[in-house]
Amino acid sequence: MDEERIDPETLKETILWRLKMVMDPETGVDVIRMRLVEDLRVDPDGTVHYRFRPSSPICPIAVPLVVEIRQAVGEIKGVKDQDIEVVGYVQAETLNKMLKEGEI
C-alpha cells in the first residue's frame, strides 16, 4: 500500500492560510498576524510542529484558543499529527501535559 506523498511546503502554506481564519476574540485579529503561532514546520510524514504563545502570560482565552488552533490544523488534509508546545504562559506546563495526553 502506497503512503500518500506530502509536500511539506505546500501543506505549511495551507496551514498558514487556514490559521489566518482563527481569530483572537479579544482583538478580532487572526493568530498569524498576532504572531501567536511560532516556528511552524511540517515533516514529510504530515506531522506539524509549532509553538503557541498567548498574547500575555495570563491570557484568559489561551486554552480555548489553542484548542481552536489545534482543531483548525487537524482538519487539513495531509495533517497526520501535531506537536504543539505552549510557551510564555503561566500554566504552560499543565497545558502542554493536557495537550500531549489528549485531555483537551
59, part of any domain: yes
What pTM, to 2 d.p., does this model score? 0.91
If one counts the domains in the chain, the total is: 1
Of the pLDDT bands very low, low, confident and very high (cuts 50, 70, 90), residue 103 is confident
Among candidates 55, 43, 32, 49, which has minimal Cα distance to 5? 43
Query: Which amino acid type is present at position 7?
Result: D
CATH of the domain at 95: 3.30.300.130
Using one digit for the tens of pLDDT, what is the confidence trace for 35-70? 999 999 999 999 999 999 999 999 999 999 999 999
CB count in 10 Å sphere of residue 3? 9
Is the pLDDT confidence value at 1 over 80? Answer: no
91, part of any domain: yes
